[in-house]
Structure 1
């Protein structure tokens, strides 16, 4: 991530989280983002660790990638942490150009991604890039725009 900092602590028992550099430049970035991405990144509570609408501690649930009408659409559902969130988060991406998952497991298997630490949405020449940092890896999406909904219903 370019602005949001997520770094393992030296004792290997947790992470240091610092979204402040991103939050400081977010008004300028949001003006360059597609509308859905700007609303998502700027939503109240997004980086407030005590908020039920904070992405920290969500877990990767499932994904669905479809080729419809000549463009790829992607849905990703993040499951809630039972101690923090009232519902899960469904993000739907329009006209996907890139979808990449990397794990940091030694055998490079797609084991549990772990809990989300933080994310970062940036404007791009295509529309947006959206990067997620998990305890077990990273996820990156490049798309035209996104629509995010906090929901307890799990559509597929």
Structure 2
């Protein structure tokens, strides 16, 4: 651990995430969206909270090679009968290091973890009773797969699920002409807006619209997100005066927003 304190003495093990939380408050924006959302979730380091993942037991770690790269899934078992599982899904995995024999003890409980920015995305180190697991990846999601509190982090759909909106956003972004008649911003914006496959209902779309206002201008706005994107790319010019580069920049910003938003909601593209 670089910041979190983990000390083992004759009396037991003592952990203090305080130094890491102070670092996180100042530098957490440097983390990828999914990792940042998990690191800053209020239950994550609240050791007194029943849904804090601390104390969950190492269950299994699986890796899979896909056309898009390597994925890893780390599953921690909660305590109690028919307990839920805490699932961490890593996308764009670069390195996995396992130190210790996590299967050699009746329980190898999670003691503390910390997420730090890395040139390849994020480095996530988890300290268990039996040793450590470190994963370097592009990004991750984390959450309970079973019953948990309504505000608790939840395990989203798997990255490869076709109804995963982050996967859909990445697919559409790389194949615009398969989905739209042209690559102009008004056409693309209409295709990813209200009523499209990206949004499970009207409320989900309204939430994105409000989030985009905060992301682009620092607060909610009555102006549409499409207009705000236009102001960022070509301020003061109508669409019919835009160049091809203007349209390309606005489309790129649109998908940047979608990918960041979906990551904050717990989705990582497959």
Q: TM-score range by the shorter chain?
A: 0.7 to 0.9
Larger RCO of the pair (alpha carbons < 8 Å, separation 6+)? 1
Q: Which residue of 2 aligns with 1:98?
A: 95
Q: Which residue of 1 aligns with 2:59?
A: 61
More strand by share: 1
Please state whether the residue corresponding to 2:108 is helix, strand or coil: coil
2:30 to 29, 32, 36: 32
TM-score by length of 1: 0.86
The C-alpha deviation readout for 1:91-119, integer Å capped at 9, x for no partner, is: 1000000011011x6xxx95237111010
TM-score by length of 2: 0.51
2:111 to 114, 117, 124: 117
Q: Which residue of 2 aligns with 1:88?
A: 85
More helix by share: 2
Structure 1: gaps (5+ residues): none
1:148 to 116, 132, 142: 142
1:132 to 126, 129, 151: 126
User: Partners of 2:40 and 2:143 in 1: how far apart?
Assistant: 14
User: Partners of 2:27 and 2:98 in 1: how far apart?
Assistant: 24
Structure 2: gaps (5+ residues): 148-154, 159-270
- Higher mean alpha-carbon deviation, 69-78 vs 109-118, is at 109-118
Aligned residues: 148
Pick the structure with greater CA Rg: 2
Please state whether the residue corresponding to 2:114 is helix, strand or coil: strand
User: Partners of 2:2 and 2:51 in 1: how far apart?
Assistant: 22
User: Partners of 1:53 and 1:124 in 2: how far apart?
Assistant: 28
Q: 1:119, 1:130 within 8 Å by CA — same for their partners in 2?
A: yes
Q: Which residue of 1 aligns with 2:8?
A: 8
Q: Cα RMSD between the aligned structures? A: 2.3
The C-alpha deviation readout for 1:109-149, integer Å capped at 9, x for no partner, is: 95237111010100111100000111111100000000112
